[in-house]
Structure 1
């Protein structure tokens, strides 16, 4: 939906889960001296300022980023990108997944970023200007189907919709199956919220039934404020790089201590 803006949620506990795993996978994949593609269906702005009124209003960034040092050591690729982003853009800066990816990928890699929201898309192009990339202002799932298999064929896709449209829960498994048929060598990571009302459960069940080889990682955390429906974060990953399961368990262990 065109109403969703991630600035209200950037740097929250779900981002600590999702972005930590994305950074870990990309760092591993770039160790191999072969070019790769990175595709993101719902990219957002790329760069956020957590002292913005929108971020302060929800309190989610304060809840999340206060745990960064507890969850990730200084040498972790996610921690490194956060530190680099703050050195370049100020102490309140936070890198979204496009900026995290761009800081880990190489000049030989190809980046496709998509967002339908006009303001978010314009901000994305501006924040990614130093890195380049191919930008798509269109429906992210349509882009995913149109570009798979990508060139280079080796690569990773992140599917991260807002889920403000309840139909997303039914659509995502169908789209993932279509992507898999066209690009069964790709690493495809689907993020989803874990909700108090359990709206995501049927989708997760379908994903696990259709793709028993997939890696599922879920964490729980206290709601950011009274009545807030998101109580956790989930990642479902096809063709997860070696060691991702171990990293997921490590992250999940930290969340269990909250």
Structure 2
């Protein structure tokens, strides 16, 4: 896990899928005046420069956020996410040694990771807990969020940290987990961590991102999540190609959501049905939406 750096993959198809859903869940939490909290277990560096050597080396953002921003007939459910990304400008860029006039061959130059997507949607009474274990990513994130008193950052393993932090003092909230999956054991570790946390904080919404691979490791996740007892149900959203060539290659992106907000299934169906014709995947893509555990 410590070898993974998200800067190579920022703004790709998986980020679009994951962050579009994240914005919709946060918008639902904003509907009530009561405060909410968010726990982000694998926070990364916070935001990413798409003109950096890392991003330019892979160019994954071109088939993700750039393709989406350049498309027509954008679904209404996707617009809040795109508006947030389009307006995002990191604070204190002069401290980063970044070039404000840089370009990555198209907009946006700077892409917000989940910590800064959440930060932009926090109110004064809301709280955000971030965890990051990679030393370089942690130092960068610490420098970028230090001034925000609503945010608590810890250098720790997100799997054990999640269970230790729940239930939080604010009982309305969301957990986001998106590990690197550098090893196949991460699928089971992620599921076990979320299941243990759900036993202690059953009313929260949980979002787990995972890659859809040719190896089919996500099947284990599905089986484990089908055993979760929750009145809010468990929703699965997958955007993936049916074929991807080399063994181990990523076919697409998946989300498992425990206690999804009302109508999130319809919103993700609208987004996924549109994205499959716009983003770049190894082949023709489909969007699958299933209830692994049905809500009443």
TM-score by structure 2 length?
Answer: 0.80
Q: Secondary structure at the match of 1:31?
A: coil
Choose which of 139, 158, 165 in structure 2 pairs with 1:122: 139
Local SS of the residue matching 2:153: strand
Deviation at 1:252, TM superposition (A): 1.2
Deviation at 1:237, TM superposition (A): 0.6
CA contact (8 A) 2:214 2:243 kept: no
Q: Does 1:64 align with 2:64?
A: yes
Tell me the SS of whatever aligns to 1:210: coil
SS in 1 for 2:27: helix
Q: Give the 5 Å matches for 1:38-187.
A: 38-69=38-69, 70=71, 71=74, 76-86=79-89, 91-132=108-149, 133-187=151-205
CA deviation after TM superposition for structure 1 residue 87, in Å = 8.1
Following superposition, the deviation at residue 129 of structure 1 comes to 3.7
Gaps of 5+ in 1: none
Q: Which residue pairs with 2:286 in the alignment?
A: none
Do the aligned partners of residues 222 and 63 (structure 1) sit closer, same or farther apart at CA in structure 2, a change above 3 Å counting? Answer: farther
Q: Does the CA-based 8 Å contact 1:13-1:221 persist in structure 2?
A: no
CA separation of 1:105/1:66 partners in 2, compared to 1, >3 Å: closer, same or farther?
same
- TM-score with structure 1 setting the length: 0.92
Query: CA–CA distance in 2 between the matches of 1:119 and 1:152?
Result: 30
Task: Let me know the Cα RMSD of the aligned residues.
Answer: 2.4
Offset of residue 75 of structure 1: 8.0
d(CA) in 1 for partners of 2:263, 2:122:
19
Structure 2: runs of 5+ lacking an equivalent: 94-99, 101-107, 279-296
Cα distance in 2, alignment partners of residues 221 and 242 from structure 1: 28
More displaced 10-residue stretch of structure 1: 43-52 or 195-204: 195-204
Higher Cα radius of gyration: 2
> For the Cα contact (< 8 Å) 1:223–1:229, is it kept in 2?
no
Shift in Å at residue 39 of structure 1? 0.4
| Alpha-carbon offset, residue 148 of structure 1 | 0.4
- The number of residue pairs the alignment matches comes to 258
Deviation at 1:2, TM superposition (A): 0.9
Name the structure 2 match of 1:193. Answer: 211
Contact 2:37-2:174 within 8 A present in 1 as well: yes
1:215 to 219, 235, 251: 235
Shift of 1:235: 0.6
